[in-house]
Chain A
């Protein structure tokens, strides 16, 4: 059995048939996972200033760039093993650098509150065995974590949910559009306006407190009564929800207080984003946006988005992420004007503009390690095939040695 590094469900029931050190067939992995396990289409080559080089020289060049930078930043990490993340944090400390990950424009806030124990949460096994009311909120699990509903949340029979989804579970979707997940939640889809989550939560809190909500009273009261009757409820909070209430997050805490049988679980896409959040939290008490400046400084200025907007960094190491593909165009311009070092197994948009590119093994396929599932469980990754490429962890160690 192998583990799939395709998303933060980290499905560890994958069968892989290997022939001559090549992956021939996968069983049980979804389409996205199967593609991920099969590896990159274009393998990254070691390059310095777009010219072919070798890994050793590229590492030395990277160390030189980072060592000479006034304000270096280390970014990425959501597709790196915990071991590489810890190395990255050590490297940031040594350099006095800023470190941030994709969660600063994703689920970071929610995970931070969770690690601060502001919410009740639960494990996916508990969801499978106990949950009777599932709320997919601002999250299209069916697309982002394709096996979420089948492995854990809706379809499987669990210890106290023996009669299966038809009788024992209610799935509810709250979203701005009728996503694939919403289609499965037939009859329990609540469409909201973009950024309408706040209004919806407030109305729901009213309804749960016995007041008539100001907004769509009939539907909200009906939903409130389902939530109240739940024996074991879970809100799967997606990025849609987190984003929309990021300035007023306490209303979600207030809602959770009204429904004591409910648990909140962050929906995470990239396989080890939560791992980075936990590792940095352990080290600094923050999940992202940190600068090691003799002491730990946490500030929104240290998010990748702000750092690029303010042009406050002069060198960027990217590992386990492709910021160029997900950041707005206007920010990317500054990226192209600074020195970028890219550590990745595959050619990415970011690697194409990088000053130094260093290929590494595909984690979870060509190298093992650990990662943190979306619910916080630590999962062992598998080394399925042999590879000559060093792991990202090893590259970061070498880089630190070369400083």
Chain B
């Protein structure tokens, strides 16, 4: 929705989708690239384009799991770091007990006061035995983590 709001909303079809909404969905699913919407590349939409890029950037590389983190609204509280079952399993002496992560195998870390996600392929929402895990979404006070 946020993505759709930033598009030109003219439904001009240049991008190859029938509507801007469809394009927004395709963007989220990484099936399309922002530059395929040529109208937004033109002058008037510069700000919107930058916002869109910022919005889409954090999840680049996360397409398989669909995880999007929004560092701009993250407070760095670390709830997700400690609550994620992958972090608990991979760092029992660090993240699991509320301490700073002690290795690089965790999914979440807080850098410069904001969350950074890596090792996303370890996420329980991904792979053969996937489960619909909410352990990073529910504890987040600001809604900074989303899955699409």
Contacts and interface: CB of A to CB of B under 8 A. Distances in A.
Interface of A: 1, 13-15, 25-35, 128, 142-143, 146-147, 149-152, 155-158, 164-165, 180-181, 183-184, 186
A156 B111 CA distance: 19
A150 B83 CA distance: 8
Nearest to B98: A156
Interface in B96-110: 96-101, 109-110
Given A128-B97, A156-B96, A184-B139, A30 B113 contact: yes
Given A155-B83, A184-B141, A29 B97 contact: no
Interface in B72-89: 74-79, 81-83, 88
27 contacts: A26-B112, A27-B100, A28-B110, A29-B76, A29-B110, A30-B110, A31-B74, A32-B76, A34-B113, A35-B113, A142-B75, A143-B75, A146-B76, A149-B77, A149-B79, A150-B81, A150-B83, A150-B98, A155-B82, A155-B98, A156-B96, A156-B99, A157-B88, A157-B98, A164-B88, A165-B83, A181-B141
Contact of A180 (B101, B109, B112, B142): B142
Contact of A25 (B79, B100, B111): B111
B15 to A, nearest CB: 36
A29 B113 contact: yes
A157 B97 contact: yes
B30 interface: no
Nearest to A182: B141
Interface residues of B, number: 26
* Top 6 closest pairs, chain A to chain B, by CB: A156-B98, A34-B113, A31-B113, A30-B76, A150-B78, A13-B100
Contacts of A33: 76, 113
A28 B114 CA distance: 9
Contact of B78 (A25, A128, A151): A151
B93 to A, nearest CB: 10
B131 to A, nearest CB: 14
A27 B139 contact: no
A146 B96 CA distance: 17
Given A28-B100, A35-B113, 16 more contacts: A13-B99, A13-B100, A26-B113, A27-B111, A33-B113, A128-B97, A128-B98, A142-B75, A150-B78, A151-B98, A155-B139, A156-B97, A157-B98, A164-B88, A165-B83, A180-B142
Contacts of B114: 31, 34
B97 A158 contact: yes
B123 to A, nearest CB: 18
A180 B141 contact: yes
A146 B77 contact: yes
Contacts of B82: 150-151, 155-156
Nearest to B95: A156
Candidate in A156, A158, A164 with the most chain B CB atoms within 10 angstroms? A156
Nearest to A156: B98
Contacts of B113: 26, 29-35
Nearest to A28: B100
Contact of A183 (B81, B83, B96, B141): B141
Contacts of B75: 30-32, 142-143, 146
Interface string B108-135: 0111111000000000000000000000
A181 B79 CA distance: 11
B141 A142 contact: yes
A27 B111 CA distance: 5
B127 to A, nearest CB: 22
Nearest to B97: A156
Contacts of A151: 78, 82, 98-99
B76 A155 contact: no
Contacts of B112: 25-26, 34
Nearest to A34: B113
B126 to A, nearest CB: 21
A142 B83 contact: no
A335 to B, nearest CB: 32
Contacts of A147: 77-78
Given A26-B112, A35-B113, A15 B100 contact: yes
A166 B71 CA distance: 25
Contacts of A165: 83
A31 B142 CA distance: 13
A56 B3 CA distance: 57
Contacts of A150: 77-79, 81-83, 98
Contacts of B78: 28, 30, 146-147, 150-151
A21 B75 CA distance: 26
A142 B113 CA distance: 14
Contact of B77 (A25, A27, A30): A30
Candidate in A142, A143, A152 with the most chain B CB atoms within 10 angstroms? A142
B17 to A, nearest CB: 36
A157 B97 CA distance: 5
Contacts of A32: 75-76, 113
A15 B138 CA distance: 27
Contacts of B109: 27-28
